[in-house]
Amino acid sequence: MEKQKLEHSTFAGGCFWCMVKPFDEQPGIESVVSGYTGGTTVNPTYEQVCTNKTGHYEAVQITFDPAVYPYKKLLELFWQQIDPTDSGGQFYDRGRSYQTAIFYHSEEQRIIAEDSKRELEESGRFSKPIVTEILPAKEFYPAETYHQGFYKKNPERYNAYQKGSGREAFIRNHWGE
């Protein structure tokens, strides 16, 4: 049997706790890891990243089978988890570490991401410009163990955060149920 060809995608969408569940539940997704990328500090800690001095974003790195769940479909799901018009962070999480970005792992991913962003801009779904950056992938550092799979380990806290931060209402308002 031929081994499947897996790829990586990396998305920064504000708090990484909220970015795992939507992807984790899809067919063809092998893993979703919370972590840090885009900065200069080697192997940063959560506390360091929260200072907004490391240059890192909170992000998720997804290992996926593009034959089952194509990259374009991952992007569509990504856009539905964020406010792509907010350059200062996401919902009540503010600062660089909570800004949105798509980190591409190949030229093909870059082109697909730029096309996807352009399609969203042209859709008229948002009245403000789409500010999510598209950047080359950098070293990805997995976050501490207690951050991994947070929605499974702490469902009450996760649900309260999702609702209390305003993310849940924003998603429902812009994308429906």
Assigned superfamily of 7-175:
Peptide methionine sulphoxide reductase MsrA (3.30.1060.10)
Find the mean pLDDT for residues 134-158: 96
Domain boundaries, the chain: 7-175
Query: DSSP letter string over 86-154?
Result: -TTEETTEESGGG-EEEEESSHHHHHHHHHHHHHHHHHT--SS----EEEE---EEEPPGGGTTHHHH-
Per-residue pLDDT reduced to its tens digit, 97-127:
999 999 999 999 999 999 999 999 999 999 9
Find the mean pLDDT for residues 39-64: 96
Check 12, 15, 62, 112 and give the catalytic one: 15
Asked if pLDDT for residue 26 goes beyond 70, the answer is yes
| Mean of per-residue pLDDT scores for the chain | 95
* Contact call for residues 41 and 56 (beta carbons, < 8 A): yes
Find the mean pLDDT for residues 162-170: 94
50 is catalytic: no
Asked if pLDDT for residue 1 goes beyond 70, the answer is no
Find the mean pLDDT for residues 5-19: 96
pLDDT at 3: 54
Find the mean pLDDT for residues 132-143: 98
pLDDT at 80: 97
